[in-house]
Amino acid sequence: MSVPDYMQCAEDHQMVLVVVQPMGIVPEDQFFRIYKRIASVSQVSIQDSQRVLFIRYRHHYPPENNEWGDFQTHRKVVGLISVTSCTTTKEWPQTSDRFHGQKEVFGSTLYDSRLLVFGLQGEVAEQQRTDVAFYPSYDDCPDVEKRVEDFVESIFIVLESKRLDRATDKSGDKIQLLCVPFEKKDFVGLDTDSRHYKKRCQGRMRKHVGDLCLQAGMLQDALVHYHMAVELLRSVNDFLWLGAALEGLCSASVIFHYPGGTAGKSGARKPGVSSAADAGKRHRPGALTTNGISADTSTEIGRAKNCLSQEDIIEKYKEAISYYGKCCFVCVLNAFSSSLFVGTHRGWAAVQLRLLHELVYASRRMGNPGLSVRHLSFLLQTMLDFLSDQEKKEVTQSLENYTSKCPGGMEVISLPDGLKLPPVPFTKLPIIRSVSLLNLPVSLRPHKVKGLLGQGMSSASPFIYSPITMHSRGDERSKKIDFQWVQGDVCEVQLMVYNPMPFELRVENMGLLTSGVDFESLPAALSLPAESGLYPVTLVGVPRTAGNITINDCIPNTRLGITCFCFQYCPILTNHTSMESLFIHEDLSTSVSLQLFNGETQQLTLTLENIGTETLNTLELTSKNLSTKEKLFGEFLTWDLQDALSHLPLKSGQSVSIPVNISAKLDFSGQENLLHDLNDDGISVTGLPVSSPLRQVLKPRAENKPVGSDASKNEFNHVKTLEAVLTFKYSGGAGQVEGYSRELSLGVRVDVEPSVFFTRVSTLPATSTRQCHLLLDVFNATEHELTLSAKNNQDLVLHASECQRMAIQVDKFDFDSMPVTDHDALRQATVRQQEEKRQQVHGGLINSTLDIHWTIISFTKRHGEASVEGVLNQLILEHLQLAPLQWGNVLSEISPYWYYQNGVQNYDLQDAVTFIGSNTFYIGTVKPTENSVCVGALLFLYTGDFYLNIKFQDDSTARDLPPTWFCLPSVHVKAQEPVEL
């Protein structure tokens, strides 16, 4: 596998690669002395030609990279120079064999090779060979450079020969297919006669010829071949080689447009003609006046130099200098409106740039690199807007070179003449557009404790709201920060920065400078892409004490001038749940999500752990239901906090657990319209006694109707969502003393799926006036088989999507005797609200009495309540209510008679029945659900069937209505002969 070289640049594509390696035992210092001399021959002008051959030297090159030579020729090792030590003639044969072995490593690509032998003298050393050069020692080798130049010329001859051979190849359609190493096995068995294959061969060969032309100095020819290769390779979708052709085309274009070199390698290139022209244009405005004065003086002095004494020359220059004063040029810096202090720019930028460059050069010549760094920093800060992209790169590169030897600092530099140079703040590298303090996460923000913060609170509290001077203009300066940081917590400041440079900008150890409190700044490092646009950068730190904190500066950037307030220590809670956690909102510390069937209840265990350093003393738990559109029966979340409170105070590292019950009891009755045709599809008479007349009425319907309905399946896929927030409010430590607490929020999301529906409810009278039959049409909306059970009733099994009728015999309810929980609220409500409230209370009583539950058979732990509250209307409630009768002052009379089965009743039974006592009874006030007992006795003198007629008469004298009678059904009495014992 090849090893990439990330230091390559565009110019490397036009270079030929030569490897210089030691052979045998060669002192390292001696080898690198020779290597440095060899590498100094970096370009050779070819005789009888206007071309130049550029050489790239490497003392170590992985042989596997050489396999990519056909792909890009600059990766191919075409020259080898071996350096060895040989002191005796006996060692020479072995040395020669080693050289041949070393050549075999790169033998397939080498154009030529050389062996430099040091230390061998005698007959062997006197041989005249072109491939071997003998030197007595490493110090006595004067013609190494000349030998290397000859070697490079021989490489050029081979290169030019190969270029001509490839460019004038007459093989036609039989062009060789060039491959990268991993492609060789992929092209086995391809159709070499296809047009696609031939175009691939032609495109790759054109790209290869372009590489050779670029290396041979034929720049225009290289561009032509690259363009042709791009067209051919694109037509056959040969993307790998198309990319290489485009890379070669870009490299050739860069070399053509930037003859001065790129990637900091301009020193190894011939300077471009455009550089001097641009410099002339840039310096021309400031040079007009100064050149006009100095040119004449210098010309005059130069012509008369031989006949002027030194004193005369000095006088002439003094006279020239005096002209600067007449032109209001007091001194060198002031002459060009320049200053060594950062401020508003004025004057000729081109002249000032030239002047600052000369100051940098002078500082370097004076042996003061620190001063050079300061001048370059000043140039980059003040003149950034006037620099071209190329100049920005050059100045930045120079500054990096200087700071690698003498790192810059923020101290004041004092010059020998007493001038003091202040530090240079880099406010433009990067440019800061906005600064904002970030609030703490919701779970860490302090909150005022009601009742503890009043007029009596000490004014020395660290929580103060104060205007802050922001790093901006206009009305933004009057903005206030309405939050606080907390001692010991990680706090953040966000900067929006911009990189104006045309290259990547790396900033290291960027941090905050603060005052007012002990603040630990955590430095950050960032890398901004070229001309990145606004880029967010977050700087963090930890305040170690409480008080007023001012963020003064951002190193290495700008003064910020931001004020905030830091609060004292508070405990910190974190929570762990027994269910899967899932983040759903930024204002929540954490959240849980689960799925329940309607009527199901599940317990969630919350574990709270004090991860702070302060002791937790108080803990409160509240909840807020966010699902206001869904109708709930009962409380969604319930909990018991007493056990957790018994563990307080909670020290650092300790934890408590709180069980929270999640009940999903929703009203799905709104979907009963989907089942308006299912109420008769399947009818069950489960729960009725065998002898009940009602069973006989319903049984034929149950036998004749099919169970279930295909049309109803999968209709109930609607899922309702319940959302709530549990908020833990806690306090302790110094924060509690100051009257502050923190809050930890847990979001709870429950997706409620329908379980069972009561699609229709009706009633039928029972044998007793105090009871009735409640008929419920039940639909199983799940995909599972379930069992439905009620109190004192048989279980009903429902298959998936099945509807059956369930009959339950219930005692009627005395709703009037039920207490009202909130009389004041009920009085303030409207008539409709009062009725809805009563209906809700009555429905809850009926539902709890019925106690209907479902259990999914396939899940042993999935069970829940089946509520009828949503389908109980006013008519049903009236049928289930006891008759609201109240008797008072009632007379009861019992009269026996015979019934002859023909409609005749005989009440003349004085000789057949005798009352022991009176046959008339007085009954006082009788309330509903109460009983009144009347005690009397009858003596039957004959056997037979007797009937008792029981009549009641209102005996109240307070009303003006005439007395009326009403009768109960007659009582049948059969008198028989006494049984002898």
**β-strands 485-486, 740-753 pairing:** unpaired
- Label residue 955 by pLDDT band (50, 70, 90): low
Most confident of 292-301, 437-446, 678-687, 741-750: 741-750
Contacts of 519 (CB under 8 A, 6+ apart): 512, 541, 542, 543, 544, 549
Residue 377 CA, chain-centre distance (Å), reads: 38
Asked if pLDDT for residue 263 goes beyond 80, the answer is no
Asked if pLDDT for residue 146 goes beyond 80, the answer is yes
Asked if pLDDT for residue 831 goes beyond 70, the answer is yes
Residue 71 CA, chain-centre distance (Å), reads: 42
The pLDDT value given to residue 390? 87
User: Looking at this protein, which amino acid is placed at residue 940?
Assistant: F
The mean pLDDT of 183-212, rounded to a whole number, is: 85
The pLDDT value given to residue 878? 80
The mean pLDDT of 61-90, rounded to a whole number, is: 90
In the chain, what percentage of residues exceed pLDDT 70? 74
CATH number of 10-168: 3.40.50
pLDDT tens-digit map of 303-334:
455 556 667 666 666 666 665 555 544 446 55
Domain map (residue ranges) of the chain: 10-168, 195-326, 348-421, 431-567, 573-673+718-751, 755-820+831-880, 890-975
The mean pLDDT of 405-414, rounded to a whole number, is: 79
Classify each residue of 582-611 as buried b or exposed e, where b means 16 or more C-beta atoms within 10 Å of its C-beta: eeeeeebbbbbbbebbbbbebebebebbbe
The pLDDT value given to residue 474? 41
The pLDDT value given to residue 215? 93
Q: Which two tokens stand for residue 579?
A: 């269910």
pLDDT tens-digit map of 910-942:
888 988 888 888 887 776 667 778 888 888 888
- Label residue 472 by pLDDT band (50, 70, 90): very low
HSE-up of residue 22 (Cα within 13 Å, Cβ side): 14
Asked if pLDDT for residue 381 goes beyond 60, the answer is yes
Asked if pLDDT for residue 37 goes beyond 80, the answer is yes
Contacts of 915 (CB under 8 A, 6+ apart): 936, 937, 938, 939
The mean pLDDT of 853-862, rounded to a whole number, is: 85
The pLDDT value given to residue 462? 38
In the chain, what percentage of residues exceed pLDDT 90? 16
- Label residue 357 by pLDDT band (50, 70, 90): confident
The mean pLDDT of 512-531, rounded to a whole number, is: 81
Phi, psi of 299, deg, nearest 5: -65, -45
Measured torsion, CA atoms of residues 936, 940, 946, 951, in degrees rounded to the nearest 10? -20
Return the SS3 of 365: helix
Q: Which helix (H) or strand (E) holds 563?
A: strand 559-567
The pLDDT value given to residue 628? 73
The mean pLDDT of 285-303, rounded to a whole number, is: 44
Q: 134 or 433, which is more confident?
A: 134
Q: Which helix (H) or strand (E) holds 220?
A: helix 219-235
The mean pLDDT of 470-479, rounded to a whole number, is: 40
Residue 632: is it exposed, middle or buried by C-beta count within 10 angstroms (0-12/13-18/19+)?
Answer: middle
**Using CA atoms, how far apart are residues 154 and 134, in angstroms rounded to an integer?**
19
Whether 131 and 116 have beta carbons less than 8 Å apart is answered as no
The mean pLDDT of 534-547, rounded to a whole number, is: 84
- The domain 573-673+718-751 having CATH identifier 2.60.40.10: the answer here is yes
The pLDDT value given to residue 176? 84
Cβ neighbour number for residue 10 with a 10 Å cutoff: 20
Radius of gyration of the chain (CA): 52
pLDDT tens-digit map of 170-191:
666 678 888 888 887 777 767 7
Whether 340 and 419 have beta carbons less than 8 Å apart is answered as yes
Q: 309 or 745, which is more confident?
A: 745
Range of lowest pLDDT (568-572, 684-688, 774-778, 877-881): 684-688
pLDDT mean across residues, the chain? 76
Asked if pLDDT for residue 617 goes beyond 50, the answer is yes
Whether 30 and 22 have beta carbons less than 8 Å apart is answered as no
Cβ neighbour number for residue 169 with a 10 Å cutoff: 14
Asked if pLDDT for residue 864 goes beyond 80, the answer is yes
**Using CA atoms, how far apart are residues 857 and 860, in angstroms rounded to an integer?**
6
Using CA atoms, how far residue 375 sits from 387, 400, 503, 533, 588, in Å, is: 15, 13, 22, 28, 52
CA neighbor of 804 nearest in space, from 628, 963, 682, 898? 682
Return the SS3 of 975: strand
Classify each residue of 480-518 as buried b or exposed e, where b means 16 or more C-beta atoms within 10 Å of its C-beta: ebeebbbbbbebebebbbbbbbeeebebeebbbebebbe
Instruction: Return the bridge partners of 260, or none.
Output: none
Sequence-ordered alpha helix ranges (H) in 772-897: 823-828, 831-850, 874-879
Q: 922 or 820, which is more confident?
A: 922
The mean pLDDT of 104-108, rounded to a whole number, is: 86
End-to-end Cα spacing for the chain: 119
Contacts of 335 (CB under 8 A, 6+ apart): 324, 329
The mean pLDDT of 368-374, rounded to a whole number, is: 86
The mean pLDDT of 963-975, rounded to a whole number, is: 77
The pLDDT value given to residue 171? 65
Determine if residue 48 is left, alpha or beta; phi over 0 gives left, psi from -120 to 50 gives alpha, anything else beta.
left
- Label residue 476 by pLDDT band (50, 70, 90): very low
The pLDDT value given to residue 32? 92
Q: Which two tokens stand for residue 833?
A: 């609200």
**Using CA atoms, how far apart are residues 766 and 756, in angstroms rounded to an integer?**
26
Asked if pLDDT for residue 256 goes beyond 70, the answer is yes
The pLDDT value given to residue 551? 75
**Using CA atoms, how far apart are residues 70 and 247, in angstroms rounded to an integer?**
15
Return the SS3 of 978: coil
